[in-house]
Amino acid sequence: MTKRMAIPAILCLAAASCGGNSDGGNAAASKSFDYGPSQATEAPEGAADAVSSAITFKSDVSSDTAVSAQSALFSAAETALGAAPIAGAAMPPQLSPLVRSARSRALATAAGSSTLPSDCYTATTSSVTFSGCKFTDASDGTTASVTLDGSVSTSSDTVTWSYTMTMEFSDASNSIAATYKDSGNFTVTATTAKAHDEADVTVKLTASGKTSTFGMAQAADLDVTYGADCSSTITGGSFEVKRVWTQKPSDVSADLFKDKAVKINWTGCGSATVQLSVS
């Protein structure tokens, strides 16, 4: 059985894998924010990097480029919103790097570079479907265990993903138990790039004998045009990212966990405006 995907045709494995979580929706995707006035800003590099990854995917449709496009979109949203204030809440090491590490290791299976047991996933020329794939890592005094379910599928111009990871991390004094869900799609044509991503995470953290729980939802919508004659890639369109806390730690100031959103509109190659949420 091959572990790589060379993708000739569009495939959505299930309704949930075409954007949106199947358990009732993403709180960030469904929330509407009010925005403040537009302010001129430099064109954000993160969004351009995501589009560049999608362009590479279009010219070289493979599992490697599909994973890169999805990861770049997630990173662009996180850059626009800023890192979640886990460290400021006196928690163990920030959750975001842990999620990135687990996601990269899990999705690497689609790129043929993982050693997951062959009986926990099915690979075709256009998809990889995971079912109870589990791996563990131990380094620098930290133990991590991740179980993956879901799918990644691709076509000549679209990558679609929908997966759930249950994660456990621990070291000498801290432990984290988390569930992370991510679903969305990224389509690129000769001149346009459109993407939607929804991520949900619920976490239980124990540090120095104290336990805290929280939940967070994040959503991103990218709809832009691009051109080869633009040095910063994107020539027009918009990028909106939103973060909503579905459960806030009871022992931490609520001011650290405010819902927020950012909307970027390109006014031309290399120029854009930004609006920050006010409610």
CB contact at 8 A, 192 and 224? yes
DSSP state for residue 158 in the 8-state scheme: E
Which pTM does this prediction carry? 0.79
- To which residue do tokens 């060379």 refer? 6
Q: What confidence tens digit (pLDDT) does each residue in 211-226 have?
A: 888 888 999 999 999 9
pLDDT band at 63 (very low <50, low <70, confident <90, very high): low
CB 244 within 8 A of CB 28: yes
- List the structure tokens of 220: 């991103």
Q: Is the four-CA dihedral 267, 268, 273, 277 of positive or negative sign?
A: positive
Residue 242: pLDDT band with limits 50, 70, 90: very high
**Residues 176 and 204 sit within 8 Å (Cβ to Cβ):** yes
Q: Is the pLDDT of residue 236 over 90?
A: yes
Q: Residue 11 pLDDT more than 50?
A: no
Identify the weakest region by mean pLDDT among 56-60, 65-69, 258-262.
65-69
Quote the crossing angle between the two packed helices 45-59 and 63-81, to the nearest 10°.
170
Residues 6 or more apart in contact with residue 127 via CB below 8 angstroms: 5, 7, 11, 13, 151, 152, 153, 154
Question: Is the pLDDT confidence value at 70 over 80?
Answer: no
Please report, for the chain, the start and end positions of each structural domain, with discontinuous segments joined by +.
26-276
Cβ–Cβ under 8 Å, residues 128 and 110: yes
Q: What is the pLDDT of residue 4?
A: 31
Mean pLDDT of the chain: 77
Least confident range from 10-19, 73-82, 162-171, 217-226: namely 10-19
Give the pair of three-digit tokens for residue 216: 């967070």
